[in-house]
Amino acid sequence: MTQETTPEKTKSPASSAPMRFSRRLLLVLLLVTAGWFGWVYHEIKFTSEIDNAQPADAIAVFGAAEYAGRPSPVLHARLDKAVALYQRGIAPVIITLGGGSDKDSGNTEGGVGRDYLLANGVPYDKIIAETESFDTEQQVQKLSDIATEKHFQHIVVVSDGTHLFRIELLCRRAGLQVYTSPRAQLGHIDNLDEAQRMIHEMLSYTALRFDLHASWLHRWLHGRAD
């Protein structure tokens, strides 16, 4: 007595072709994505390590957190860098950027920055305090308004090193010619914190570069400190 066997079903060339195409397309997309983020990482890193400060019309300090009228360590370091540049004669004016919220008891990042500069020997008439902006994009727009009003042609921008590549793009789009100048490092930064900062900037720059306005991405990016 013989047992009948059912021949195995084989995929036809026609059915496997779309699958091969999908796999190749996915591979290409992965390679392009990896290449893009590799380039962004390199540019952020390169910009963060180079001080391009040179004679200009003004020095702009991008805002960071303030605590009850005192600059946070990050803002402190940015302001110290601006004072050092001013004392070197890089520019005759320092612009402090950044507003505040209702929970800040009337304090603003720009105002706290101005007070710190005054305490460190910068004359009142050499400081412009902008106190209304709430994120990097708004700070650049306010900086552009000030530059137009004061006829500033060249500005040295001071912020965290990883922040400067995105600032440079925003300033270029706003018609500003800027020279980037990173603040000094604050002690030892653990690998996790450094990775989070870098990922934040890579995603922020990508969203800006490609005009991505997905609501979840916008909330995640702007829910973190600039």
User: What is the Cα–Cα distance from 118 to 160, expressed in whole angstroms?
Assistant: 22
pLDDT digits (tens, 9 = 90+) for 56-80: 999 999 999 899 889 999 999 999 9
pLDDT at position 215 is 44
How does DSSP classify residue 104? Answer: G
Buried-exposed string 75-85: b where 16+ CB fall within 10 A, e elsewhere: bbbbbbbbbbb
Q: Is pLDDT at 33 greater than 50 in this prediction? A: yes
Percentage of the chain with pLDDT > 90?
69
**11 phi and psi, to 5 degrees?**
-70, 135
pLDDT digits (tens, 9 = 90+) for 35-45: 999 999 999 99
pLDDT-wise least confident of 8-22, 38-52, 70-84, 101-115: 8-22
Which among 68, 65, 70 is positioned nearest to 116, based on CA atoms? Answer: 70
Please give the domain boundaries of the chain with CATH numbers for all domains: 49-186 (3.40.50.620)
pLDDT digits (tens, 9 = 90+) for 177-204: 999 999 998 866 667 878 888 999 999 9
Q: Helix (H, G, I), strand (E, B), or coil: what is residue 28?
A: helix
pLDDT-wise least confident of 5-19, 60-74, 96-110, 212-226: 212-226
pLDDT at position 217 is 53
